[in-house]
Structure 1
Amino acid sequence: MLSQKSIDIVKSTAPILADRGVEITTVFYKNLFTAHPELLNLFNSVNQKQGRQQTALANTVYAAALHIDNLGVLLPAVKQIAQKHRSLGIKPEHYPIVGKHLLEGIKEVLGDAATDEIIQAWADAYGIIADVFIQVEIEMYKEAEEQENGWGEFKNFEIVDKVVESDIITSFYLKPVDGSAVPTYNPGQYITIRLAIPGETYILNRQYSLSQAPNQDTFRITVKKENEMNPNGKVSVYLHQNLQIGDTFEVSSPAGDFYLDMESTRPVTLISGGVGITPMMSMLDTLSKNSPTRPVSFLHGARNNALHAFDKDVQQLMSAMEDTTYLAFYSDENKLLTKELLAENVLANGDIYVCGPVPFMKAIIPTLYELGFAEEHVHFEFFGPAVSLEPALA
């Protein structure tokens, strides 16, 4: 139980964290990986280089300071982060290491302003916050392991098929090496794949949405090949160019809190940009098989037709449904998903799912709110660490 004095001290630091949070988390990660380079096996180094992980952690620490007297407010965010932690193999023993270097980061950046009293208050607060994460994640590991055909952390999968979906996007069908079936999952969830790439010092982890309806036979991930000069392209280029049918790598159990509500009968609007179409394909495939009478509107943006994955698949799935709308927008032809088109094609009184590149998300989601769609009905997922929808706050 955190004392009232500690609560007051932590809350009083919120303005400082708002101002210098990213500076603190940048120092934290630098010191953490210097002292514990083995943790680079768990982190996506690209998110580090782009500053997204530092920003996401700074936002989390700031939110914790604001709500330290009512952590229940943060539980949805905790569960979202915990899903990623579970899919990466974060364990209870990692939390003391993180806490030590986070406190040292606060002290290093704030200097004398970080008094012993402030550091102790944050140490107490961190212990409570870490315990919340640990307990949530223990339960998630248990749930993943105990479900039918489940496992707790990673197991080996084999590529059993490789299908080109567009000029830059390819699907990989995966089966467990041990011959078992695969567990079910919620349409929209992702898996982590773990690769040891020749020439790379550390294991590389990447999270990819499952892009088909759940079945007991295979997982399917659909991967955009990034530019080879882009640091983010290491895994995608290796998958496209080096891995073939018969090759294996490690895979986590499905995770994530962005998924289709299958218990609802409300209309569904799917809005995606680029490779953000992947979780939508799992949702649409599931709707086509299990809820063909549920109204669906699918709005997808791509640069051009050659880069548009799953166009024919969407049309085929929708042909088995009763009430559907499908529109594609190509930016190379100056056809964009405008506010007017959203107003005309997003289904009223329904659930809206959005996924795509960060600029796409920052354009679409606030526009949906401006049009009067309720926030509780707008569901979205960023690939990688969450980013603020407000550019000024990011």
Structure 2
Amino acid sequence: MPVVRLAALHAPQLVEVLRSPSAKTPSELQAQVMMLAIASSSITHGPGGQPRRQANAYSSSGIDKVLGRPYPLPCSLVVVGVIIRTTNSAAAAAAAPVPSQHPQTPTPVPVALLARRLRASSGSMALTARQIAIVKSTAPIVRQHGRTITTTFYARMLAAHPELKNYFSLRNQQTGAQQAALADAVFAYAAHIDNLPKLTHAVERIAHKHVSLFIKPEQYAIVGRHLVGAFAEVLGPALTTEVKDAWVAAYGQLADVFIGREKQLYDAAGADWKSWRAFTIVKKARESDDVVSFYLEPKDGRALGRFLPGQYVSLQVPIPELDGLLQSRQFSLSTAPVDGMRQFRISVKREATIPGATRDELAEGRVPGLISNMLHDRYDVGDEVQLSAPCGEFFLDAPKPDTPVVLLSLGVGATPVLSILDSILLEEKATRPVSYIHGAARSDSVCFGDHIRSAAARHANLKPVLFAENVGRGHGEGRDYDFHGLMDLAKVRDELHLGDTDAQYYVCGPEEWMVETRRWLADKGVDQERIHLELFRTGDV
């Protein structure tokens, strides 16, 4: 019997959802409920497939009682704090309540809004069936001309609204990563306009990124106007009035989804995070030859609250050479969250860059590692930076205490997985099996190497494995590193817990390596939903 998890709905709201006339089968109900994850501002979803907080359970008979009549679908519903997925485990419906790990408590919204958005997700309100068909039919055109459209879009919008340059990475604009990411997103929306639940993960990732940059609801109208304008400029007469109207409606629906989801995240962050918050650097510590940790305290002196292990903050600084233009970058928090914490720590890698870059090179985004290297070279104890609230959908989500967790990282990809590792080791009666498999360029310069060795000596449940591409002088295998060479997962099969169907995998490093690692694990039978990737650039993988 499928179990459909809904998000913190009061009984009247549950009635509205269940009475949706288009839910005729369990799979259709599942699709509609999943759509709530991206269409309702009262619902969040986590990547690990487990709820953070569980409230009441409604069995089939319980649903009948709520509705006042027999419910035709053979399913049970579990009302939880977070919508996650549909599962075939009937036992989940009777599971005992578990405490919330998530600091962001969903806020219920009016019944009418939930019902409207649910109907809109099936195309009965926001878009007509004809408009859905039109938008979907344009997907091949969007794929062919997407980069040209998005490049035109950014040029138009930033010329009309130069103040928005503060929101966009100069480097991503120069490399085309920003344009490519938007083109991919627009194509995905067109291709799946009739099956929006497929976009849940992408929407969640983008919404968190937007919140970390303090994107405002009114800015969606600016984006929509210039995006449609870019369509018209690139496609010319091919963009008929009917096609244009369909895309205007489609964009409006998507904007509503993002605005609703982002409002929830803003509200959950609390009053201290309504805008950028000033932090002071109180300590700098070298973690390896090219990685330095920055310890940051809020200038207002207020406690920071908990975040989810693996999440990031956006850090914003002015560029003096560009008349104070603001630039933001995302950095993972590299410590475990604890109650009442007063500091954040980020760990930043120095990048190879252009020494003595000119103003033009800076303005055109031709300088890699601009913000990271500025932090290394120009920022010291006592200096001030601006931070966002912690965001991100890459975080520890394995509530069963005996679920194995496998952490895989390369280089500075260690930062978010270190937060996850330390969070696990702080758990009461920490006995969960944990494998930490890391690849470093050199055995004598491993990011957090001493910390990992010390943790392993104290916790029998932690199994660290180090692959070193180059071996330091006097270093020995089995003492300073485990394997010489690039990471090869075939050598550590026992540490991967491949036979455990509950094991969760957290992967962070260069994009190509992450994709290949995901493919390798999938080939060994690991479900995609148990493989979590973190990406340090715009877009998705």
The TM-score range, normalised by the shorter chain, is over 0.9
Corresponding residue number in structure 1 for 2:517? 364
Matched ranges for 1:199-238 at <5 A: 199-201=321-323, 202-215=325-338, 216-229=341-354, 231-238=367-374
Question: Does 1:272 find its partner at 2:409?
Answer: yes
Matched ranges for 1:250-329 at <5 A: 250-265=386-401, 266-290=403-427, 292-329=430-467
Among 223, 227, 241, the residue aligned to 1:98: 223
Matched-pair contact (CA < 8 Å) for 1:141–1:152: yes
Partner Cα separation in structure 2 for residue 105 and residue 330 of structure 1: 48
The letter for the 1-side match of 2:348 is V
Matched ranges for 1:314-353 at <5 A: 314-332=452-470, 335-341=485-491, 343-348=493-498, 349=500, 350-353=503-506
Partner Cα separation in structure 2 for residue 384 and residue 363 of structure 1: 17
Partner Cα separation in structure 1 for residue 148 and residue 495 of structure 2: 42
Partner Cα separation in structure 2 for residue 48 and residue 371 of structure 1: 38
Matched ranges for 1:163-178 at <5 A: 163-178=285-300
The letter for the 2-side match of 1:166 is S
Q: Deviations over 1:317-373 (max 9, x none)?
A: 222322222111123466111241253431232100000112221322211111221
Which blocks of at least 5 consecutive residues in structure 1 are unaligned?
A: 389-394
Question: Does 1:19 find its partner at 2:162?
Answer: no
The structure-2 alpha-carbon separation of the partners of 1:27 and 1:306, relative to structure 1 and needing over 3 Å to count, comes to: farther
How far 1:181 moved relative to its partner? 1.4
Matched ranges for 1:25-40 at <5 A: 25-40=150-165
Q: For the aligned residues, what is the CA RMSD?
A: 1.6
The structure-2 alpha-carbon separation of the partners of 1:67 and 1:91, relative to structure 1 and needing over 3 Å to count, comes to: same
The structure-2 alpha-carbon separation of the partners of 1:217 and 1:318, relative to structure 1 and needing over 3 Å to count, comes to: farther
Among 106, 113, 126, the residue aligned to 2:251: 126
Matched-pair contact (CA < 8 Å) for 1:294–1:322: no
Matched-pair contact (CA < 8 Å) for 1:284–1:317: no
Q: Helix, strand or coil: the match of 1:29?
A: helix
Deviates more, 1:64-73 or 1:253-262: 64-73
The structure-2 alpha-carbon separation of the partners of 1:362 and 1:71, relative to structure 1 and needing over 3 Å to count, comes to: closer
Partner Cα separation in structure 1 for residue 521 and residue 197 of structure 2: 27
Corresponding residue number in structure 2 for 1:183? 305
Matched-pair contact (CA < 8 Å) for 1:270–1:296: yes
* % identical equivalent positions: 42
Matched-pair contact (CA < 8 Å) for 1:161–1:174: yes
Which blocks of at least 5 consecutive residues in structure 2 are unaligned?
A: 1-125, 355-365, 472-483
Matched-pair contact (CA < 8 Å) for 1:193–1:207: yes
Any runs of at least 4 consecutive aligned residues in structure 1 with deviations exceeding 4 A, and if so which? none
Matched-pair contact (CA < 8 Å) for 2:440–2:466: yes
The letter for the 1-side match of 2:381 is I
Corresponding residue number in structure 1 for 2:279? 157
The letter for the 1-side match of 2:332 is S
Q: Helix, strand or coil: the match of 2:270?
A: helix
The letter for the 2-side match of 1:28 is F
Corresponding residue number in structure 2 for 1:243? 379
How far 1:306 moved relative to its partner? 4.3
How far 1:25 moved relative to its partner? 1.2
The letter for the 1-side match of 2:511 is V
Deviates more, 1:328-337 or 1:358-367: 328-337
Matched-pair contact (CA < 8 Å) for 1:288–1:320: no
Q: Which has the higher helix share?
A: 1
Structure-1-length-normalised TM-score: 0.94
Structure-2-length-normalised TM-score: 0.69
The structure-2 alpha-carbon separation of the partners of 1:306 and 1:196, relative to structure 1 and needing over 3 Å to count, comes to: farther
